[in-house]
Chain A
Amino acid sequence: MYKINPKIAFFIILSFSVLVLSSCEDNPASPEFDEDHADAFGFELLMDGEVLVHYLFREYTLDPDGHFTDFVEDDRLVFDTSVIGGNVTNNITKRYLDEEGEPFTLPEYEQERNGLFGEWYITFRFFNPGTSTDIPIEERPLSEIYDRFEDTWVFAFDLSHSGEVDLRLDLFHIDHEDLTPRPLRIEVRANESDSAL
C-alpha cells in the first residue's frame, strides 16, 4: 500500500500552485479595448456641404461634382487667397467611407473614456512635396485650425504664405492610426493684393 510522503507532496503542490496561480491572468493585449476600430477605407472632405475631395482605396478624386473648379488644378488643391476671400478657409468637414464607398459615422469624442487622447480624431502632417519629411510649423504655407475636443470632424486652414505641401490627414483611434491615406498635394497662392500673405 503506497502512501504519499507529505514533504514531497507539499513541494509538488506548492510548485504547481505557483504555476497555476501565475497563469490565471488576462492577456495584456486584450482586444476588448481596441476591437472597435474604424473600418475606414477612404474619406471625403466637404466644404459648404459639397464634396471637395473624395478618397477611396488610395485614389483621390478632386471636386467630383464640379462645385469647386477654382480650387482644383491637375492633381492638387489650390487655395488662392483671392478665391478664399481672406487668410482662413471656410470650414471643412471630414467624413469616412467604408469599403463600399458609403459614408459612415464615427462616434463623437467621449472625454470620460480617455481624457488625453480622445477617442477618434484627425491629425495633420505637412510634408515637403514628394517626401516624408515634416515641414517645421513656421515654414508651412498653411496650418490647421482644429480642436479635436470641441468639434472632432471639422477644421479650417489658415494660409500664411505661398508654397506647396503634401498634407496627410490621419485618422487616429485613441493612441494609434486607423487610416493613413496618401498625402494630398495642396498649393497656396498668395494674392498680391493681400498684404497679409
Chain B
Amino acid sequence: MYQILTKIAIIITGILLVPVHLFGDNDGVTSASGTITGVVLDATDSQPILSAAILLEGTDRGITSHRDGDFIFRNVPAGRQIIRTQHIGYRVDFTAVDVAENDTAHVVIRLFPEAVRSRDVIVTDDYIRDDRTTGVERVLTGRSLRQQLGRTIAETLNDEPGLSQRSMGPAPARPVLRGLGGDRLLILEDGGRTGDLSATASDHALAIEPMTAEHIELLRGPSALIHGGNTMGGVINVIRGQIPLDWPDHFHASGSLQGESVNSGLAGGLRLYGPVTENFAFRMDGSIRSSQDISTPLGTLDNTGIETYNASIGLSYIRPWGIIGVSGNILDTSYGVPGGEGLAEAHPNGVNIEMFRRYTEFKSRFRMPGDFLSRLDVDATYSFYRHKEFERTRFSDGRRVIGSEFGVLTTNAKAHMHHNEWSAADKGLFGVWVEHRDYASGAFSETPATIERAFAAYTFQEKDIGDWNLQAALRFDMRQVSPLRERNSVLIGQIRERNFSGLSSSARALYYISSGLTLGTSFITSFRAPGIEELYSEGPHLANFSFEKGNPNLNAERGWGTEVFIKGRTNQFDYHLSFFRNQMNNYIFPRDEGRRATRRDDLNVFLFQEQQVLMAGFELDLRYRISNNWTLSGVLNYVRGDFIDDDSSFPFLSFGDSDVSVPMMPPLSGRFNAEWSGGNLRLGATTRFAAEQNRVDEFEQPTNGYVLFDIFAQYNIITGSVLHTFSLNAENLLDTEWRNHLSRIKEIYPEPGRNIRLLYRFYF
C-alpha cells in the first residue's frame, strides 16, 4: 500500500506542476510564437535534399525534409532560433533564424558535400559555434550510425573516442567511457532512465535495441549533471523519439533490414510517424532480431544466440501552448551467456537469460508566458522489468534450474523549468526529479527485497561573455534504500536501511581563440549512492560467474574530475585532443576474492568494496582531408586506473608504484580510417588496434594486443520520394583471434571472427 501511495504522490506532484495557463479559457497561444518554413538544398547544384534531419537546437524537436526539400516548424517561440541540419554525405549546418510573433520566417539551408570545404559553412554567425548550449558533445546519427550499427548500443558506440565495451558474450554489453562504467556512465532512452539492471552486472543486457535508435548523443560536464549526480563518465542518450514532439503534415516511414554472417543474424525494423488529426500525431515502431551462435577464429562460441522482439507506440497532442504525449513499449529478449570448463564450473554449458521490460512514458512541453520562464517540461515514466537466469541443459526431465531472478519496478518523474536571461545567466533551467524503485531478487539469492526512494533538485546555467562560453550546474541528491526485512546476515553483516545525500557540481569554460580553434576545460564533483546490489547482495549470480557479497556499510561514492581539451578546424584538419583526470575517494566495485563461496563451491566470491582510485588519460580524434574525395581519420584512446593512497596523487598524475590496476581498465586502443567518397558512393578501410593490457587487478587476466582490418561501402539512391541507403561492412577480414579486455569471458573465448554485415534502410 505504501508503495502505491508513494507512486500516487509522485504523480500528484507531476499534476501540480502543470502550468496554470493550461487552465485558461482558451488553449490558444499564450506567448509569442511564429512559424519557420524552409527548404534544404545541395549547395553545389541547388537540388532539393530529401530526408535531411532538421533539429531545432535547444529543444528536442526535429523533423525531416520532404521530397522538395521543404520543411515547416509551427509554434516556434519568437526570437532567435538555431536550426541544425544534417544529411548523409553533407557537413552539418547551423543556421540562425529570427522568428517574429505570429509571423512566418522562411529560410534556405544549403548543405555542402562533406568533402567540400567552405569557410562560409563553418561560421555563419557569431552565435553559431560547435559547442553551443545543448551540451551535447557528440552525436552519432545518419551515415555514421548506419555504418557502426551493431548488435548492441555498446558495439554501436565502440569506435567513438574514449568508449569501449564491457561484455560477456555478444548480447550483454554496455559502454564504458574513460574506464568508467556501470551507472557512472548513465544511459538514457529519450532522456528517461531505462529501468533495467545493465549497470549492475556484466551479464545484464541493456534494454535498448539499437535498431530503434534515430541518433545517439553523448553529454558530459554540466549538461550531464542534469540527469544524475553520478555522471562523472557522462550520459549516453539514445534518441528513439517515441513521443512525437512536432506535428508532421504527412506520413513518414522508415524501415531497416540487417544481416550478418558471423552469427547468421537477421534483424529488421519498421517505423511509422504521422498525423492523426489536426492536433494529434502518432509514432510506432517494431523490430525483431534473431541470431545464432557467434563464430570466432577458434570455432563457434556456444550459447551466444539472441532473440529480441521490440515494439512501441506513442501519441501526442500538439497545440501552440505545448505538447502532451504518452507512449508505451515492450522489449522481450532472450540471450545466452557462454559457459566453459575452467571458467564457469557452476554451469559449464552456459546460462540462458530471459529479459522482459514494459515501459510507459508521459512527456509534456509547455511554453510559458512572460519574460522569465520559457518552457516547462514535465515527464514521468514507469518500467516493469523482469530477468531470469537459467542454467542450461542440466536435467533431462524438463526441469529448468534457475540461478538468479530479478524484478524491478521503477517510477520516475521530473520537471524542468527553462528560463531566459536571468541574473548573470543567458539561459538555464531548474529541475526536480523523483524516483521510486521496487527491487526484488529470487532463486537462492538472499539479497533482500528493497525499496529505493530518491529525490534530486538541480540547476543548469549558461552564459556567453565575448569569446567565452560558460556553463555551470549544481545538484543535490537524496536516496533512501530500505530493505523490506532488516536482519543480521552471517555473510555480510547487518542489513538495514541506509540514507544518503550529497551535492554534486560541474563547470565548463570554452574559449574561442579563433573561428576554428577552441580551448576548453571542465570540472566535476560527483556524488553516487551505492546501489542495492552493492549494499546487500548475498547469493550466487549464476551468469556473472560469481557469488556476490555486498557491504551494508558502504559510503556514498564521491569523486572529482578535470578535463582540458583543444579542438580545431582548418580547411584540411579537424582535431580534438583531451586530457582528463578522474579521482574517486571511495570507488565501489566488485573484487574477485580468489576463493570459493561457503555455500556455492562452484562460484568465486566477489566482494563489493571501496577504495580510492585515480583514472587518467587522453583522447585524440583527427581528421585530414587529402582532397575532395579522400579523407584520413583516426582515434587514439588511453586511460590508466590506479589504486592510490589518501592525498598522494594531487595535483596531477602521481600514480602509485603498484602494478595492480583498477580492474577492467581498457588498454591503449584506437583506429585509423581511410575513406573515398564520390557522389552517392563511399568506400573505406579501417584498422582497429589495441595494445596488450598487462596492468591488471590481482585475480584478473592480462590480454594481448591486436590489429584488425575492416572495409566498408555505403551507397544511397533516391527513387521517387524514397531514400534508399545500403551499408556493407566486412569486419576482421583476416579472421584474427582477439580478446576484449573488458570481457568477463576473455580467458577462454575470443571475440567474433570475420563478419560480413549488410544494412538496408529506406526513408520517406
User: A interface vs B, CB < 8 Å?
Assistant: 2-5, 7-8, 11-12, 14-16, 18-20, 22-25, 27-31, 33-34, 37, 40-41, 57-58, 99, 116-117, 131-134, 168, 173, 175-183
Q: Report the nearest A residue to B443, measured CB to CB.
A: A176
Q: Which of A24, A168, A175 contacts B402 (CB 8 A)?
A: A175
Contacts of A117 in B (CB 8 A): 399
Q: How far is the CA of A29 from the CA of B384 in the complex (A)?
A: 11
Given contacts A29-B405, A31-B449, A175-B401, contact A180 B602 (CB under 8 A): yes
**B407 and A22 within 8 A (CB):** no
Given contacts A20-B11, A22-B358, contact A173 B409 (CB under 8 A): no
Q: How far is the CA of A131 from the CA of B409 in the complex (A)?
A: 41
Contacts of A27 in B (CB 8 A): 407-409, 438-440, 449
Contacts of A8 in B (CB 8 A): 22, 27, 317, 324
**B24 and A5 within 8 A (CB):** yes
Distance in Å from the Cβ of B13 to the closest Cβ of chain A? 11
CB-defined interface of B243-275 with A at 8 Å, one 1/0 digit per residue?
A: 000000000000000000000000000000000
Counting chain B CB atoms within 10 Å of each CB, the highest count among A27, A28, A29, A40 belongs to A29
**B444 and A176 within 8 A (CB):** yes
**B400 and A175 within 8 A (CB):** yes
7 A-B pairs whose Cβ atoms sit less than 8 Å apart in the complex: A14-B326, A16-B11, A18-B326, A29-B405, A34-B444, A175-B443, A177-B600
Q: How far is the CA of A108 from the CA of B625 in the complex (A)?
A: 77
Contacts of A33 in B (CB 8 A): 442
B651 CB–A CB distance under 8 Å: no
Q: Which of A12, A28, A29, A41 contacts B598 (CB 8 A)?
A: A41
B596 CB–A CB distance under 8 Å: yes
**B401 and A132 within 8 A (CB):** no
**A182 and B382 within 8 A (CB):** no
Contacts of A183 in B (CB 8 A): 601
Contacts of B24 in A (CB 8 A): 2-3, 5
List 16 other contacts, CB 8 Å, given A132-B345, A178-B599: A8-B22, A12-B18, A14-B326, A16-B14, A19-B11, A23-B7, A28-B440, A30-B449, A31-B440, A34-B443, A41-B599, A58-B598, A117-B399, A134-B348, A181-B601, A182-B601
Q: Which of B18, B402, B596, B599 contacts A179 (CB 8 A)?
A: B599
**B348 and A5 within 8 A (CB):** no
Contacts of B23 in A (CB 8 A): 2-5
**A3 and B25 within 8 A (CB):** yes
CB-defined interface of B396-429 with A at 8 Å, one 1/0 digit per residue?
A: 0011111101111101000000000000000000
Q: Report the nearest A residue to B439, measured CB to CB.
A: A27
**A178 and B444 within 8 A (CB):** yes
What are the 6 A-B residue pairs with the smallest beta carbon separation, nearest first? A29-B407, A28-B407, A132-B345, A176-B443, A29-B440, A27-B407
**B326 and A15 within 8 A (CB):** yes
Q: Which of A16, A175, A180, A181 contacts B362 (CB 8 A)?
A: A16
Q: How far is the CA of A177 from the CA of B597 in the complex (A)?
A: 13
B467 CB–A CB distance under 8 Å: no
**B441 and A29 within 8 A (CB):** yes
